[in-house]
A = this chain, B = another copy of it.
């Protein structure tokens, strides 16, 4: 693609609260463009499975979000860029109109990437003008939600292109990263938490609706693993027959296993006797000390059962993380893989990999969905999914809080889902 002057990602990610909303808008929006720099037009077109979307669709949809929910409502005399885009780039908002079949997004060769980039420019100009020209209190929450939404899609773009490239026997490289050495992993220890009647959920103004309201929740004493489970530990599970031992698997998981023919995490490739992992930097030897990722909930739960342990509930996870300080490993263009843990403390909680929990995604007691158009933002997805916590190394900084909840179907693996073990502190 026609390269523009590259934006320094460090500029984007180290944002300060002192920046204006318009600046924040531009910085976050520009990261989306940076993410497509390494890609060809053709790369931006493809959709490798229904769960994924073409990169160009992400670019257009996130733009449509600002257009339809903000510009059309709050920008006087706003002229729609292309009314026919509404059908194409509405993801699932029945309230504002119909949607094109999501399974077929990859077939829409028009508008082209360049046309979508012009669409972004048009909307961005209008948005910045709106944010600069007027007191924006009335739309501040919506803009912040739109930016959070953009960040969610930034992670999805990386997930989706990784999945698409993996289908290609040429194993294309998205970005060469300074290949981390396969450091020696530290031993896992257990951190004990007292439990009791604790507050779960957020009171922040900018929190999503599904993080609210803050409410009391009773927890028994419990222990969490000090670090994430590693590729090496998971490989032992494979080698000792874990995928053939039904007693460790959920019934649904066992059926999924038989139907899908799964025998290892997504992106693991065995050539001869050696294991490799497909990454955004191409196919690489499996690094045993790195956190295992791209496992389904079924695999995570079976691995935990095989270890004689379990996964944490989302409340156990949140209570453990909420008031801790510590380094986070979020999106950083120089390294797009989770890092080997080098600490013996309770670690690796923010970033690296999303951590599966035993909690089904459901409304908190007293839950009130966003109103208006945004009523479809979270509430209608509250069935059939498990909560994941903590963000990953593909998550843009600033997107995830300790109270943030991500929800995935138990069989999904193209997100960076990993494992932290848990156990009861008393029997």
Interface residues of A (CB under 8 A from B): 40-48, 56, 84, 87-88, 92, 94-95, 100, 104, 106-113, 164-165, 167-170, 172, 197, 215-220, 246-247, 249-254, 297-298, 301, 310, 313, 358-360, 362-363, 365-366, 375-376, 380-384, 386, 410, 424
Contact = CB atoms under 8 A, between A and B. Distances in A.
Given A88-B169, A168-B110, A42 B43 contact: no
Contact of A197 (B167, B197, B220): B197
Nearest to A358: B362
Given A218-B217, A247-B375, A365-B220, A106 B46 contact: yes
A380 B92 contact: no
A297 B46 CA distance: 33
18 contacts: A42-B45, A42-B113, A46-B106, A46-B107, A84-B170, A88-B169, A92-B251, A95-B247, A106-B107, A107-B168, A108-B167, A109-B164, A109-B165, A197-B197, A215-B220, A216-B218, A220-B366, A252-B383
A88 to B, nearest CB: 7
Contact of A45 (B45, B172, B219, B250): B45
User: Top 6 closest A-B pairs, CB basis?
Assistant: A360-B360, A41-B41, A42-B109, A94-B246, A43-B109, A45-B45
A248 to B, nearest CB: 9
A48 B113 CA distance: 18
Contacts of A365: 219-220, 313, 424
B112 A40 contact: yes
Contacts of A246: 94
Contact of A383 (B87, B108, B165, B250): B250
Contacts of A383: 250-253, 297-298, 301, 386, 410
B110 A170 contact: yes
Contacts of A366: 220, 424
Nearest to A248: B380
Nearest to A253: B383
A109 B172 contact: yes
Interface centre among A113, A218, A358, A362 (most CB of B within 10 A): A218
Contact of A358 (B100, B216, B297, B363): B363
A14 B415 CA distance: 55
Contacts of A254: 380
Nearest to A216: B218
Contacts of A220: 215, 365-366
Given A111-B170, A251-B383, 5 more contacts: A107-B168, A215-B218, A220-B366, A250-B381, A252-B384
A169 B216 CA distance: 50
Given A218-B216, A218-B218, A362-B358, A109 B168 contact: yes
A348 to B, nearest CB: 24
Contact of A251 (B108, B218, B381): B381
Contacts of A48: 107
A233 B197 CA distance: 40
Nearest to A164: B107
Given A250-B383, A383-B253, A45 B109 contact: yes
Contacts of A170: 84, 88, 108, 110-111
